[in-house]
Amino acid sequence: MHQNMQTIVASAKPLLRTNRGDTSGDAGTDTGRERLHAQVGPVCCGGIVQQILALSRCAVIARHWFEIDLDDASMEHGSRIELRELVPQRHRGSESAAQIVTADRPLWRADLFDRIGDPPGSYGVAHFHPEFSGNEPCPRTWDAVLTASPWDWLHDQVASTGAASGHGTWPLDPEDARQLSGLAAMVVAMARQFAPEGCGSAAECFRLTRDVRESVQLMMAYLRRPDLLDEDWIAPWRQAA
């Protein structure tokens, strides 16, 4: 494991699958692009809700996400990857006391999404948000390369600390930037667990997004054409109200 790096998994059974059949939660320290091709397809997420890769001053969060388009009520899901700032906290307690870790300020987000109803793995609505205003993301940014080859695209974004998108490098601590760029394959492996191909039903999608059902309920409340919404698909989130 790299120095000053933590992996935090919101599940009792973290899983990263490689071509060697390894099911360890530690993806190791191999940082080569070949790790992209070591994955043997989408991994069933089971009970994993999200995974967090934390460095000294930043963290990458990967999870499955479900979203409803507020204009036409179409539905999207897939892997959401966010870069967050780790806010320094005042030391508490003794030299051995557990310290607060807060991944708060969002810096960048990529949504590697399928539209529900499209062929799985088509990534027709994959997009990213190169910046935030406070907690709110900027409008969606589209990239043909992202749709055509989402995992290579993600690898290049992390390896270049954002520069590959043409929107400038991420505002990171220099040492964190150096470390994170070498962890691109690990971030891709982490994010691929939440790919849309691995989620084939409303029940499965809800199980992976149950912790953010309030956000989904807000989407339903703000719909401009609620009559277009697929009520059967969104029933689990409505029932959880």
Each residue's pLDDT tens digit, 5-63: 555 444 333 333 333 333 333 333 343 444 333 333 444 444 568 999 999 999 999 99
74: pLDDT strictly greater than 80: yes
- How large is the angle between the packed helices 202-209 and 231-239, nearest 10 degrees? 30
Name the pLDDT band for 220 (thresholds 50, 70, 90).
Answer: very high
**Which residue from 175, 123, 168, 174 is spatially nearest to 150, judged by alpha carbons?**
123
Q: Which position has the token pair 């059967």?
A: 232
pLDDT for residue 4:
53
| Residue 197 belongs to some domain of the structure | yes
Residues 6 or more apart whose CB falls under 8 angstroms from that of 71 comprise 224, 225
- Give the residue-averaged pLDDT of 100-116: 95
| Residue 66 belongs to some domain of the structure | yes
In 116-221, where do the E strands start and end?
Answer: 127-129, 132-133, 136-137
pLDDT, mean over the chain: 84
- Domain membership of residue 166 as a residue range: 6-92+100-239
Q: Which residues pair with 58 in a beta bridge?
A: 85
Q: Which residue has better confidence, 113 or 3?
A: 113
pLDDT for residue 20:
30
Residue 55: Cβ within 10 Å count: 22
192: pLDDT strictly greater than 50: yes
Angle, vertex CA 61, rays to CA 48 and CA 166, nearest 5: 140
| Residue 172 belongs to some domain of the structure | yes
**Which residue from 170, 192, 189, 190 is spatially nearest to 181, judged by alpha carbons?**
170
pLDDT for residue 155:
98
What Rg, from alpha-carbon coordinates, does the chain have?
18
Per-residue pLDDT of 115-158, as tens digits, reads: 999 999 999 999 999 999 999 999 999 999 999 999 999 999 99
pLDDT for residue 239:
85
| Residue 1 belongs to some domain of the structure | no
Q: Count structural domains, the chain.
A: 1
198: pLDDT strictly greater than 70: yes
pLDDT for residue 49:
82
| Residue 176 belongs to some domain of the structure | yes
Stated pTM of the model: 0.81
